[in-house]
A and B are shown apart, each in its own frame.
Chain A
Amino acid sequence: MVPQFAPPLDVTFGDNCLTRNEWICGKYYETRSEELQTALVQHVETVLASVLLGLVIAIPLALLARRYRTLEGIVVGATTAIYTIPSLALFSLLVPYTGFGLRTVVIGLGLYSLTILVRAILDGLAAVPADVRESARGMGYGPARMLWRVEVPLALPAFMSGLRVATVSAVALTTVGSILDYGGLGDLIIEDSTFKAQVLAGSVLCVALAVALDVVLVVLQRLLTPWARAGRRTKAVVG
């Protein structure tokens, strides 16, 4: 048997905001700028890659579901079912097939984003007024041109709000990737959850990132739907 004893600490620590474990600590940012930067880049990379992956899968799925009505229930049901798998379990389930890389986290988060994206695309397309479709058809629009010139623009607001939710939720979910050491800012939070300055920095950067990406998407939506603003202005002038 190895005896147990209270291990004496033969080092003394300087008195600063790090050793006092304060929430707000300038020294933390001085000494960890490199780690924060790496974690932030990894976080953004993961979010963008997973949302892009989600879009690449969601768009054809949604179009298929719309084309073949019987598929709609299955597609929406299946993507919703994926969303109910706990994220910790999903990553562990994927590991044997996809390995320990960033890939696993991106695939997992991409699958989660499907629930929101598929619904958003379907809702957007369903919201296109039937008489608009009718007029377009009357003007000789074929299915492809109708989709691209009439339905997509009208579906954009609903679709973009779905994309915003998917992106913000991916920012939060990325932190769970830390069980594979690919959690971006989540790695900093999980590394030592008692390290207040680091937990705060990781959390604040997560929120800031979510807000920043949301703003980017709002601006993008405005650029893509200039008529929405024009309409509002006209209304203002008239009213």
Chain B
Amino acid sequence: MKKTLVRRLAIALVAPLMLAAAACGSSDDDGAKAAGAVDGGPVTIVGQDFPEADVLVYLYKGLLDHAGFQASVKNLGGRDLYLDPLKAGTDFQVSTDYLSSMTEALNRAANGDTAPVVASNDPAATLVELNKLAAAAGLTALKPAEAQDANGFAVTKEFAEANNLTSLSDLGALGQDLKLAAAPDCKKRPDCGVGLAGTYGLKITEFLKTGFGGNDTVDALKKGEVTVGQFGTSDPVVEKNGFVLLTDDKGLQNAENLVPIVNTAWLKEHPQAEAALDALSAVLTTEDLATLIGQVAIGREKAPDVAQAYLEAKGLLK
């Protein structure tokens, strides 16, 4: 393919549109390298297609650029797409991942789709399992952050206050018939419909398939069509709409702490990457994460800017 010809044609076609925006010069100047950092060469960080992953890849990029790498980022449509290439280390070397989800993805890849679940609600125990599976796959799990994005269940503030609710156990003790707005697969999942009934004794009479968080779930909860809605624990819309996330006091949810997964062979050649990424895991809390996502998903700031500002505020780019 004559790429240059195609590019020229493309530019010629959109030239009139570009003229309108020509005043804004490109300012892709990420010369944020630390003084004395060794040149680490190129590295590609891979994440998934949602605002949280978008912020995370740029957080990692900021840290790795600062440590002397030339990092690029890629947001793909799902873990299935990058798991094998990450093991090979050719296209991607680092992924922004989640403790239990990655553990189970590796577990299924190694032991088949029906393999017994090894991830749990205990981050330390899950990390041990993850390390075992990752080592066999040529991957290394770095230090997980305190921040996590797990299944969460929220009610309106009025409902929580009227019934004195703070935890899912409180909601179960209420003994009331409940309607739940959640992801389409919630009803059958052990960490959703099945677990809510089994572990907490919730009497869910109706499931509304509004999605995992999202506008429809917010609306259903706001309008009183449901009593409970399913959201990510790091989802900023929970706070924005004055909802109360009920504590998972019996540990129904697996630990979904954010954890960098790195190709082991690459890491051996570039050991400085470990300290760079560990520095973020040491400070990143779920609260920080929700704030960062809020800045992107509600404040509509750009993910690279939000990530850069956070790294600077936390003194990670000194």
Given A6-B238, A53-B1, A194-B215, A180 contacting B76 (CB threshold 8 A):
yes
CB pair A7–B286 under 8 Å, yes or no, is: yes
Give Cα distance in the complex from A78 to B123, angstroms: 51
CB pair A92–B1 under 8 Å, yes or no, is: no
Q: Which residue of chain B is the closest to A107 with respect to CB atoms? A: B1
**Choice from A19, A36, A48, A192 contacting B51 with Cβ under 8 Å:** A192
CB pair A7–B10 under 8 Å, yes or no, is: no
Q: Is A33 an interface residue (CB 8 A)?
A: yes
Complex interface: chain A residues within 8 A of B249 (CB): 3
Q: Is A131 an interface residue (CB 8 A)?
A: no
Given A41-B14, A191-B49, A192-B51, A179 contacting B81 (CB threshold 8 A):
yes
Q: Is A2 an interface residue (CB 8 A)?
A: yes
CB pair A179–B240 under 8 Å, yes or no, is: no
Stretch from B17-25, B35-43, B190-198 forming part of the interface with A: B17-25
**Choice from B121, B243, B246, B295 contacting A11 with Cβ under 8 Å:** B295
Q: Is B94 an interface residue (CB 8 A)?
A: no
**On chain B, which size bracket covers the interface?**
35 or more
CB pair B1–A49 under 8 Å, yes or no, is: yes
CB pair B80–A7 under 8 Å, yes or no, is: no
Q: What is the interface of chain A mostly: helix, strand, loop, or mixed?
A: helix
Give Cα distance in the complex from A197 to B300, angstroms: 10
CB pair A99–B91 under 8 Å, yes or no, is: yes
Q: Which residue of chain A is the closest to B287 with respect to CB atoms? A: A7
CB pair B7–A45 under 8 Å, yes or no, is: yes
Q: Is A236 an interface residue (CB 8 A)?
A: no
**Choice from B26, B78, B214, B236 contacting A9 with Cβ under 8 Å:** B236
A215 to chain B, nearest CB (A): 11
Complex interface: chain A residues within 8 A of B294 (CB): 9, 11, 13
CB pair B17–A6 under 8 Å, yes or no, is: no
Complex interface: chain A residues within 8 A of B49 (CB): 178-179, 190-191
**Choice from B14, B54, B85 contacting A44 with Cβ under 8 Å:** B14
Q: Is B107 an interface residue (CB 8 A)?
A: no
A4-B253, A13-B299, A179-B76 given; name 11 further pairs at CB < 8 Å.
A1-B121, A3-B248, A7-B290, A9-B239, A45-B6, A99-B91, A106-B1, A179-B78, A191-B51, A192-B50, A197-B300
The 6 closest A-B pairs by CB, nearest first: A179-B77, A7-B290, A33-B21, A18-B300, A44-B10, A6-B245
Q: List 27 A-B contacts (CB under 8 A).
A: A2-B123, A3-B249, A4-B150, A4-B245, A6-B238, A7-B236, A7-B238, A7-B239, A7-B245, A8-B239, A9-B291, A10-B287, A13-B295, A13-B299, A18-B299, A28-B300, A31-B302, A33-B20, A33-B24, A34-B26, A36-B21, A37-B17, A41-B11, A44-B10, A48-B10, A52-B1, A100-B76
Which residues of B are at the interface with A, using a C-beta cutoff of 8 A?
1, 3, 6-7, 9-11, 13-14, 17-18, 20-21, 24, 26, 49-51, 54, 74-78, 80-81, 84-85, 91, 121-123, 146, 148, 150, 152, 154, 214-215, 233-234, 236, 238-240, 243-249, 251, 253, 255, 257, 286-287, 289-291, 294-300, 302
